[in-house]
Amino acid sequence: MTSINVRVDGMSYSDDVEPRTLLVHYLREQLGKVGTVVGCDTSNCGACTVHLDGQAVKSCTVFAVQADGSEVTTIEGIAEEGRDGALHPVQKAFHEMHGLQCGYCTPGMIMASIDLLRENPNPSETEIREGIEGNLCRCTGYQNIVRAVQQAAGEMSGADTLGAQA
Amino acid sequence: MTVTEDAATLAPAKEVGQPRRRKEDARLITGRTTWTDNMVLPGMLHLAVVRSPVAHARITGIDVSAAQQAPNVVAVYTGRDLAEEQGSIPCAWPVTADMVNPGHPSIAVDQVNHVGEAVAIVVGRSKVAATDAVELVDVDYELLPPVLDLEEAVADGADLVHDQLESNTSYHFVFDAGEAGTGTDTEQAFADAEVVVSRRLVQQRLIPAFMEPRSVVVQPQGDNYTMWSATQVPHVLRVMAAMVTGIPEHKLRVVAPDVGGGFGGKLQVNPEEILCLLLARRLGKPVKWTETRSESLMAAHHGRGQVQFIDIAADREGNVKGLRVRLLADMGAYLRLITPGVPALGAFMFPGIYKFPAYRFECDGVFTNKVPTDAYRGAGRPEATFAVERIMDELAVELGMDPLELRRKNWIKAEEFPFTTVAGLEYDSGDYEQATQKALELLGYDELRAEQKRRRESNDPVQLGIGFSTFTEMCGLAPSRVLGSLSYGAGGWESASIRMLPTGKVEVVTGSTPHGQGHETAWSQLVADQLGVPFEDVEVLHGDTAVAPRGMDTYGSRSLVVGGTAVVKAAEKVVAKARKVAAHLLEASEDDLEFADGKFAVRGTPGASVGIQEIALAVFAAHNYPEDVEPSIDAEATFDPVNFSFPHGTHLCAMDVDTDTGMVKIRKYACVDDVGTIVNPLIVEGQIHGGLAQGIAQALYEEAVYDADGNLTTGSFVDYLVPSAADLPHFDTANTVHVAPGNPIGAKGVGEAGCIASTPAVVNAALDAVRHLGVSDILMPLTPERVWRAIHQGGDGGDRATAGTNAYGGAQTESTAGVSTPASSLGGDR
């Protein structure tokens, strides 16, 4: 067992973990952060995507010990702090644009999209499609996810150019 | 369609038709979900399954001693330990009276028949402990020759999957329109025909690949059991699990919490569900099993898997005269819930939208040493639609006709509805010409045809093709009597109830169990209109047999058509009951009351009115209500449709084919679907998008490939290509609306349309691009390798490079060396 200190969604945790424990299993099984889910075992689907020190990572591809001393943000921690029911603009856009159906890929898809918009605040359709190609969705055919990212980009840059039209 | 305005700003007079944002989203976008694998119960034990690494073998010994001694392992069970109590996974669809069903143990006892079959189960205090100990279970196998190829499996002298059976054929199902009285003699039609075109088409095996892996938790409480499962069918599962295990049905509660997609893949009574129930009973402790993705791809049922021999007869002018279909349908190693019924469901859809005077269908259900097939989005209908839409193109080529003109000449005209087809189905409503015209405009057809001509004339390395699919499908499963006539084991009705709470809020209970479709939103819209209550005042409950005791669940594009109608009928009963109370409270005659916008008003007496939500409180208090009624306005209804519904549409694909590399890329995809009345355009468009993605994926990306030894070489998401956002085009979608006459909503069903229609449009487009280069067929998926070979070497592109080999190098694995037959080593992917 190895001791780690991690901040997850603004809370500090000190835990003992097996060195082989994956970050996603630590989050789900030790911290009860079950908003982050597992969809595959080969790091293809991206359902487990979280932010590690602000960058999107597939938490099935990171050992919990690698997160020692780091800040982890999950889908449960992105809404505006202190405001119950408040949503991150990307969460809001996924809802507005019907960017989800079963919702299983959604946490990872939202976390990947936030990171995409951090790196490229005004992406083209092609840049969005390529930017989220590490995240698989089986329900939506991606079109409304693309619309959602476009809508969120507009809102986050302050220019609501797309609005409800998409 | 384009969503242009927010519903809230419109102050809708009616909810139906509004693009309401989904109620479901709030928990899904914030991670406040209840997936089965999230569940933790005190003392819960974890199961890990030891699975067969070989396709066909006798089990000669299992040594579990090392696993039993591993840290935190509670117990290890083999098939022998559970043989007396496990029964057989049920098959609810014996399509013929003499269908052969060898039985389907949940865990192998003496023999394994596909890679991935369960042979032992480790029970651990943690998932890690159980999983680690899987490696310690030592199984001895005596190898048997694997049966993998459908055509070889039915040949004389073929090796047998089940050596106690006489052959690998489970059943021979025939529908002959001449004999059924719905058409003329097929043999005569072919004998008299001026033109006959015959093709052998292949429907490759696909994997449903729902994003949430299957997961089961069972909690024993005395002699009661609660099972949580990532299932589409909690009601079907409860009945079947009770029958299989002997646990009385009333002692078993099944819950489908948030379920992450199904697509038919979770329409099943899974071996692992039965095993969890058996072990929870034996151990008296809660147990959980959650599969890995590799387990899911290997051991959850697959879809499709057919070799199709199809003949079409016509005259020189292009009038079709007859259609003849012979299928070899891959059952896999066992028959699961509706394995044999899937091709039989397609039997009636091969004639498509065309007026064939004669039709004959024959299908052999064939056992192979692969995981069983069963429902996957469309279930029988995509296979049929693919075949007829492909053969119409082939006939057009033979006749030198435009493929659209050939279709137009033969399709059912708008004024001919309702139309009884040669397969005996009564198509309800539609206008194929209107949908087609709209789709042509959406695609920009004329311009693309002009560009295609230019590219062809200049011998451009990138050739352009345009593919058609003018399709219909059979939805709204299903009229119970029709299912009975097809030997299905259950009915197709759906149940709903409505509870009017004292504060006027409304609880709607539906037997149709969603897993991404948006029932909570759409049902709220239906009820808001019916009862005149705010959309926000409606809560939809589902997926728990203790909450929603009656139901037939979600599959076959049935939920809105059948389940939604049950909700509407229950609401009508609520209004009828409330009317009596309103008349009493208003001291008026029932006949003088008008019900609108949630209020009963006395005709001609302004101000005299009472709201239905107020009536809910009045009957709760029950101080003042009519003498002759009970103090409740709650109601329930069961709806059993009398006919299927028949959505239709025209799908057009424009495809670039790089003749130098074999790479294909969809330039533009346009489709116009008629799904009847649209309750929520946002949800309908989303369903079309998702269906298109899966249908296009069959054409271009996905295939469950087995090597010559029966190993699944596409056993992870590295190898099984579920498309990403970058692999799919933008879709241009639109609708026409011809109301379904068979239900009061007028809806036809939308869940499978995109998946059924798109596959042939894509393949027809690719062939249209390269047909002038001598290509007349390319096997799906249209990988660059296959397309290049078809262009440069002729033929249909052949097997994929990995088909006859082991994915990890070498033609044979060490464990199975010496058992590959020369024939199977030539390529075992179909």
For residue A124, being part of any structural domain is answered with yes
Crossing angle for the helix pair B271-283 and B234-245, to the nearest 10 degrees: 60
pLDDT tens digits, one per residue of B183-226: 999 999 999 999 999 999 999 999 999 999 999 999 999 999 99
pLDDT tens digits, one per residue of B528-539: 999 999 999 999
Please check whether the two domains, B428-474+645-818 and B493-639, share a CATH topology.
yes
Mean pLDDT over all residues of chain B? 94
B366 to each of B114, B169, B331, B705, how far by Cα in Å? 14, 5, 6, 18
CATH code, domain carrying A142: 1.10.150.120
A96/B312 Cα distance (integer angstroms): 48
| CB–CB contact A125 B24 (8 Å) | no
pLDDT average, residue stretch B121-144: 98
Q: Are residues A38 and A72 in the same domain?
A: yes
Scanning B717-736 for CB atoms below 8 A from A yields 717-718, 722, 724-728, 730-731
Chain A residue with Cα closest to B29? A91
C-alpha distance from A135 to closest chain B C-alpha (Å): 7
Classify residue B825 by its DSSP letter.
G
Which residues on chain B are in Cβ contact (under 8 Å) with A96?
Answer: 21
Peptide bond preceding B418 in cis form (omega within 30 of 0): yes
Q: Are residues A58 and A95 in the same domain?
A: no
Has residue B816 got a pLDDT over 70?
no
B715/B51 Cα distance (integer angstroms): 13
Last residue of a domain, one of A46, A77, A108: A77
Which pLDDT belongs to residue B799? 80
Has residue B39 got a pLDDT over 70?
yes
Which pLDDT belongs to residue B36? 98
Last residue of a domain, one of A57, A77, A97: A77
Which pLDDT belongs to residue B809? 36
Contact between B552 and B492 (Cβ < 8 Å): yes
Mean pLDDT over all residues of chain A? 94
By CB atoms closer than 10 A (0-12, 13-18, 19+), residue B63 is middle
Q: Which CATH fold topology does B493-639 show?
A: Aldehyde Oxidoreductase; domain 4 (3.30.365)
**What is the CATH architecture of B428-474+645-818?**
2-Layer Sandwich (3.30)
pLDDT tens digits, one per residue of A95-142: 999 999 999 999 999 999 999 999 999 999 999 999 999 999 999 999
pLDDT tens digits, one per residue of B394-441: 999 999 999 999 999 999 999 999 999 999 999 999 999 999 999 999
A146/A129 Cα distance (integer angstroms): 7
DSSP bridge partners of B57: B112, B143
User: CB A133: neighbour CB atoms within 10 A?
Assistant: 16
Which pLDDT belongs to residue A80? 73
Nearest to B127 by CA among B53, B61, B213: B213
Q: What is the ipTM of this complex?
A: 0.95
Scan for tokens 């499908």, then name that residue.
B473
| CB–CB contact B21 A95 (8 Å) | yes
DSSP assignment of B465-477 equals EEEEEEEE--BS-
| CB–CB contact B293 A45 (8 Å) | yes
Which residues on chain A are in Cβ contact (under 8 Å) with B728?
Answer: 129, 141-142
pLDDT tens digits, one per residue of B585-610: 999 999 999 999 999 999 999 999 99
Scanning B600-659 for CB atoms below 8 A from A yields none
B76: helix, coil or strand? strand
Has residue B820 got a pLDDT over 70?
no
A25, A83, A143, A145, best to mutate vs chain B, most B CBs in 10 Å: A143
Q: Are residues A71 and A94 in the same domain?
A: no
Domain housing A11: 2-77
pLDDT average, residue stretch B6-35: 83
Nearest to A103 by CA among A66, A137, A147, A63: A137
- Scanning B725-816, the segments in alpha helix (DSSP H) are 753-770, 784-793
Which residues on chain A are in Cβ contact (under 8 Å) with B29?
Answer: 75, 87, 91, 94-95, 100, 103, 106, 110
Of the partner residues B21, B293, B722, the one whose CB lies closest to the CB of residue A138:
B722
Which pLDDT belongs to residue B798? 86
Has residue B247 got a pLDDT over 60?
yes
Which pLDDT belongs to residue A81? 62
Q: What are B105's two structure tokens? A: 């143990």
| Count: domains in chain A | 2
Q: Are residues A32 and A69 in the same domain?
A: yes
Rg of chain A (C-alpha set): 16
Sorting pLDDT into bands at 50, 70 and 90, what band is A158? confident
| CB–CB contact B212 A39 (8 Å) | yes
How many contacts (CB atoms, under 8 Å) link A and B? 181
Q: Are residues A54 and A106 in the same domain?
A: no
DSSP assignment of B145-170 equals -----HHHHTSTT---SSTTSSSSEE
A53 backbone φψ class: left, alpha, beta (φ>0; ψ -120 to 50): left
Quick one: three-class SS letters along B300-314? CCEEEEEEEEEEEEE
Q: Are residues A64 and A97 in the same domain?
A: no
Q: Are residues A47 and A70 in the same domain?
A: yes
| CB–CB contact A104 B212 (8 Å) | yes
Contact between B633 and B615 (Cβ < 8 Å): yes
Last residue of a domain, one of A77, A105, A130: A77
Chain A residue with Cα closest to B33? A35
CATH code, domain carrying A68: 3.10.20.30
Contact between B212 and B259 (Cβ < 8 Å): yes
Scan for tokens 């995509």, then name that residue.
B382
Contact between B276 and B218 (Cβ < 8 Å): yes
Residue type, B392: M
Q: Are residues A94 and A62 in the same domain?
A: no
Residue type, B442: L
Buried b / exposed e across B156-182, counting CB within 10 Å, b at 16+?
Answer: eebbbbbeeeebbbbbebebbbbeeeb
Which pLDDT belongs to residue B804? 52
Which residues on chain A are in Cβ contact (under 8 Å) with B683?
Answer: 98
For residue A40, being part of any structural domain is answered with yes
Q: Are residues A71 and A7 in the same domain?
A: yes
Which pLDDT belongs to residue B589? 97
Has residue A159 got a pLDDT over 60?
no
| CB–CB contact B260 A96 (8 Å) | no
Domain ranges for chain B, please list them. Answer: 428-474+645-818, 493-639
Residue type, B793: Q
Has residue B17 got a pLDDT over 70?
yes
Sorting pLDDT into bands at 50, 70 and 90, what band is A160? very low
Length of chain A counted residue by residue: 166
For residues B746 and A84, which has the higher predicted lDDT (pLDDT)? B746
Nearest to B640 by CA among B484, B812, B446, B494: B494
Sorting pLDDT into bands at 50, 70 and 90, what band is A83? low
Q: E strand or H helix at B500, and its extent? A: strand B494-500
Q: Are residues A6 and A73 in the same domain?
A: yes
Phi, psi of B721 (to 5 degrees): -90, 80
Q: What are A73's two structure tokens? A: 């943000």
B808 interfacial to chain A (CB closer than 8 Å): no
pLDDT average, residue stretch A62-90: 90
CA dihedral sign, ordered B53, B58, B59, B60: negative
pLDDT average, residue stretch B731-759: 97
